[in-house]
Amino acid sequence: MEFTAIILRMLWRLAPALWLEWAIRRLISWAIALLENEDERAWLDEQPRNSHWFGGWLAVIEARLDELIDLRAHQLLNWRWDPRDVPSHHPAPAVRSFDDCLIRLVRLIQRFEDVHRLALRRAERLQRFARELEANPLKLVDPADSTDPTDSTAAAAAFFVAHVSVCSHRSGLPIRAPP
């Protein structure tokens, strides 16, 4: 194991963004090195399952990149961030050839170079969701908006609002009362 790998493994709790950047850079450089090799290129084009295998590693890189963007957004907002469960490697059937591998890798590299802007956009979106959640913590469909006269959800929604304590719903999606 390299000395930098040992240091960064110890610093994971102190500097998770640094570790994520290092891990993503290392995975991307591994993928580039694999695609530069003529034998590996031929192996990827040989059978679709070989490309599926490589596509699975690209999916892991994408998940780590998304985790880095989320971490940076939370750091910009000075909010607490909890690490996600990044899925382990599994074959990606959507990647069928060397060209698919190359296109996905180029997109990942472009996203990695644009992490700061993407983190700013995600921070803006998180702030907007937080404001909407504070304004209306329980997003119920208004009973007056019901167009069907036989729909019993209007009465159920009124009962739900009157008898159930208000709780916050993190997804920000409208909640409809049960019939």
Average pLDDT over residues 68-76: 94
Within this chain, do residues 15 and 91 fall inside the same structural domain, yes or no?
Answer: yes
- What would the pLDDT profile of 31-54 be if each residue is shown by its tens digit? 999 999 999 888 888 888 888 899
Question: Is residue 169 a contact partner of residue 139, using CB atoms and an 8 Å limit?
Answer: yes
Domain final residue pick, 129, 150, 169: 129
Our CA dihedral for 71, 16, 109, 55, rounded to 10 degrees, sits at -100
Within this chain, do residues 52 and 108 fall inside the same structural domain, yes or no?
Answer: yes
Q: What is the pLDDT of residue 167?
A: 45
Within this chain, do residues 17 and 45 fall inside the same structural domain, yes or no?
Answer: yes
Q: What is the pLDDT of residue 163?
A: 45
Residue keyed to tokens 């490697």: 89
Q: What is the pLDDT of residue 103?
A: 92
Question: Is residue 101 a contact partner of residue 44, using CB atoms and an 8 Å limit?
Answer: yes
Specify the number of domains making up the chain: 2
Which is nearest to 153 in space by CA: 177, 121, 122? 177
Domain final residue pick, 129, 144, 163: 129
Within this chain, do residues 121 and 174 fall inside the same structural domain, yes or no?
Answer: no
Within this chain, do residues 125 and 141 fall inside the same structural domain, yes or no?
Answer: no
- What would the pLDDT profile of 87-126 be if each residue is shown by its tens digit? 777 888 888 888 888 899 999 999 999 999 999 999 999 9
Q: What is the pLDDT of residue 164?
A: 45
Within this chain, do residues 103 and 29 fall inside the same structural domain, yes or no?
Answer: yes
Q: What is the pLDDT of residue 145?
A: 59
Within this chain, do residues 124 and 140 fall inside the same structural domain, yes or no?
Answer: no
Q: How many CB atoms lie under 10 A from the CB of residue 23?
A: 20
Question: Taking all residues of the chain, what is their mean pLDDT, rounded to a whole number?
Answer: 79
- What would the pLDDT profile of 115-174 be if each residue is shown by its tens digit? 999 999 999 999 998 888 787 766 555 555 555 555 555 555 555 554 443 444 455 555
Within this chain, do residues 95 and 160 fall inside the same structural domain, yes or no?
Answer: no
> Domain containing 62: what range?
3-129
Within this chain, do residues 20 and 97 fall inside the same structural domain, yes or no?
Answer: yes
* Greater model confidence, 138 or 23: 23
Within this chain, do residues 100 and 72 fall inside the same structural domain, yes or no?
Answer: yes
Within this chain, do residues 99 and 148 fall inside the same structural domain, yes or no?
Answer: no
Our CA dihedral for 62, 63, 67, 70, rounded to 10 degrees, sits at 70
